[in-house]
Structure 1
């Protein structure tokens, strides 16, 4: 998933990323403790008897804006569909969007505002895993249920506590399916791993790739890192080219990923690229152009899904926004329905939404029949996509 706040500079190490995340979580915990004195109890919230008030933290500006805008589109469409269909009998969903500007510190401030000033019943977001890791402790300490609709980082998300839920697949769920499918299709025996080490989500995906490749018997010839803001990847790619791998495994977001792809192809690296969740964006195709062909990425959803709910969603989204929805729009759309179902089950208070999450079972969504795992993660199957001819296609 896309990054939160980043610092500038050169290559990062995994240890540096973990220190950054730990510091951010410590800040969030401190702010969360301060928030407790002003918060309402878990049963409260400002929702009137006929409204479910939902706070939504998305990145509508900054580096994660492409993902955040997709989420806003999907949520707005879902809200309109839910309210029109009277999905929650006698109640409507209201969404309050706030922009964290792709900045983890803004995310912390905004969740405090939504919980203690706006007194929403539940929160969706933030967009990035890094920000999710910092806002989760605040929501947990104030007993406000949160649904993350794009978080892919395995660590520091739902493990925070029983008020933290997500409808996106984490890397330990998604990446092994992706690596296994890619190996079956491509016969990969060796690889070079290249990833942005300055972000929680890309680091999490890279770690999951290492584990999955080891299980699949793929020999990792070299692990190389870069910063998401880097522009020149010639050093890393020259090393990779000299090792003659069967494939490149890449964990990055479009900001750095498109440059890495174009430079790799220019240097003659024509191998397939097995990418992390950050490549699930049309920006990879528009930014890298023909260089994106041969990219494979695991995804939680495809616009080619044959599910009737998914087909209808794609058509409606295209009619309203003039483009196909991506995975982030679909997960957000599903997230709104998960909250609507929770309110239908338990009511529109904070404790009611939590009760509804706990009792969600086989809910029909654009992602398929949705369930939570015992650890409050999502439970559904991934798909493998391939960029071919300038489009994401289902990889056979």
Structure 2
């Protein structure tokens, strides 16, 4: 049934009238079938809704595929809109932990939003598995908190090395003033300086800022050859547009948070040439990746992005545990902590003793209005 103000679905079909529904009638369900739910906390509306849409699409697809196998356990989805707001994610966490049918939660998107909810999940003994929270401190809340992406310490250093490989020597840094943005800028700057680079400016902005001219005027005066974008795609696209209007010639480089079609659609020609990192690329020739891409495109009429891929793997890790008959909250936690070399589309995944993972990163560029793999000239 619809739980706690969230929207509960069984596969791709939503509930109505407060009762759970599925692809077949309740009478046709086997009396031996057990039902449990996975929670999803994600920004389904607001400036980060593109990320939330990828989360939801991937979760629904993974659960549909699981239920189609007709096993002894049927899994429903309870999806809730955090709006990428820490207060909202904390409220959602309390509602989800109070729903006894929920055995684990996937989410949230940003580190700040995820970390606001983590103490609630930890105190209640409910797994929180974030596909994308990369702040180094995220999993330190406790042993029920997991991530399916490496920390900014790893990605920040990777992007700094990428910048040096491209020949950039002087970087300005613009970052969003939140937990993720601070971690992103600190780790990029540390590695860039270590490699001999100069950071000319390190300037922050508050969430929902639209006018970056004051920041960019200061950057124009310092004359960097590249600007590191420690910000989501919406703000980064605005920064790119406004910098071009001010005559700034510097290039742009950033993390995988920029890997969204919305970045290109919003920024247009002004984001051309942007360099970024990613843990997934749809053109990866591995059979499991191409099978996922084909299925996603068939269902949603577009390519999956990195955020969909990481969420799909996160959901499938939990579903693989449920498939083996484990449906208790503690049992799922223990099985997830012990997981080794899970064969996902973003690579093999194992959790270390602090529930972090390691994955390979790819270098991408925006070329001719689309993301492409970087090719060294």
TM-score class normalised by the smaller sequence: 0.7 to 0.9
Q: Deviations over 1:193-229 (max 9, x none)?
A: 11122x2222221111111212222111121222232
CA contact 1:71–1:328 (8 Å) conserved in 2: yes
Q: Which residue of 2 aligns with 1:360?
A: 339
2:271 to 292, 297, 303: 292
Give the TM-score normalised by the residue count of structure 2: 0.86
> Alpha-carbon deviation of 1:83?
2.4
Question: Aligned pair 1:100/2:82, yes or no?
Answer: yes
> Alpha-carbon deviation of 1:343?
2.5
1:271 to 234, 241, 250: 250
Question: Aligned pair 1:193/2:177, yes or no?
Answer: no
User: Which whole-Å CA distance do the structure 2 matches of 1:374 and 1:175 have between them?
Assistant: 22
CA contact 1:178–1:383 (8 Å) conserved in 2: no
Q: Deviations over 1:222-241 (max 9, x none)?
A: 21222232222222222222
Give the TM-score normalised by the residue count of structure 1: 0.82
CA contact 1:153–1:204 (8 Å) conserved in 2: yes
SS at structure 1 position matched to 2:364: strand
SS at structure 1 position matched to 2:186: helix
Closer/same/farther in 2, CA of residues 345 and 214 from structure 1, 3 Å limit: farther
| Between 51-60 and 382-391, the greater mean CA deviation after superposition | 51-60
Question: Aligned pair 1:91/2:70, yes or no?
Answer: no
CA contact 1:78–1:337 (8 Å) conserved in 2: yes
Q: Deviations over 1:268-308 (max 9, x none)?
A: 32322111343122111000001111111111211222221
1:315 to 256, 277, 294: 294
User: Which whole-Å CA distance do the structure 2 matches of 1:306 and 1:174 have between them?
Assistant: 23
Question: Aligned pair 1:325/2:307, yes or no?
Answer: no
- Identify, as 1 or 2, the structure richer in helix: 1
Q: CA RMSD in A?
A: 1.8
CA contact 1:344–1:356 (8 Å) conserved in 2: no
Q: Which residue of 1 aligns with 2:140?
A: 159
Unpaired segments ≥5 residues, structure 2: 1-31
> Alpha-carbon deviation of 1:172?
1.1
> Alpha-carbon deviation of 1:127?
2.2
> Alpha-carbon deviation of 1:365?
0.8
CA contact 1:52–1:343 (8 Å) conserved in 2: no
Question: Aligned pair 1:71/2:55, yes or no?
Answer: yes
CA contact 1:152–1:171 (8 Å) conserved in 2: yes
SS at structure 1 position matched to 2:350: strand
User: Which whole-Å CA distance do the structure 1 matches of 2:282 and 2:251 have between them?
Assistant: 22
Counterpart mapping for 1:351-390 below 5 A: 351-390=330-369
User: Which whole-Å CA distance do the structure 2 matches of 1:304 and 1:149 have between them?
Assistant: 21
CA contact 2:259–2:305 (8 Å) conserved in 1: yes
User: Which whole-Å CA distance do the structure 2 matches of 1:174 and 1:85 have between them?
Assistant: 37
| Matched residues, number | 344
Question: Aligned pair 1:258/2:240, yes or no?
Answer: no
Q: Which residue of 2 aligns with 1:302?
A: 281
Unpaired segments ≥5 residues, structure 1: 1-47
1:132 to 114, 134, 140: 114
User: Which whole-Å CA distance do the structure 2 matches of 1:111 and 1:174 have between them?
Assistant: 28
User: Which whole-Å CA distance do the structure 2 matches of 1:209 and 1:69 have between them?
Assistant: 28
Closer/same/farther in 2, CA of residues 345 and 174 from structure 1, 3 Å limit: farther
User: Which whole-Å CA distance do the structure 1 matches of 2:171 and 2:55 have between them?
Assistant: 33
CA contact 1:229–1:255 (8 Å) conserved in 2: no
CA contact 1:228–1:253 (8 Å) conserved in 2: no
Q: Deviations over 1:301-337 (max 9, x none)?
A: 1122222111111111111111111111111111111
Closer/same/farther in 2, CA of residues 228 and 257 from structure 1, 3 Å limit: farther
1:241 to 181, 198, 220: 220
Higher RCO (CA 8 Å, separation ≥ 6 residues): 1
Counterpart mapping for 1:12-51 below 5 A: 50-51=34-35
SS at structure 2 position matched to 1:297: strand
SS at structure 1 position matched to 2:202: strand
1:80 to 43, 49, 64: 64
SS at structure 1 position matched to 2:38: strand
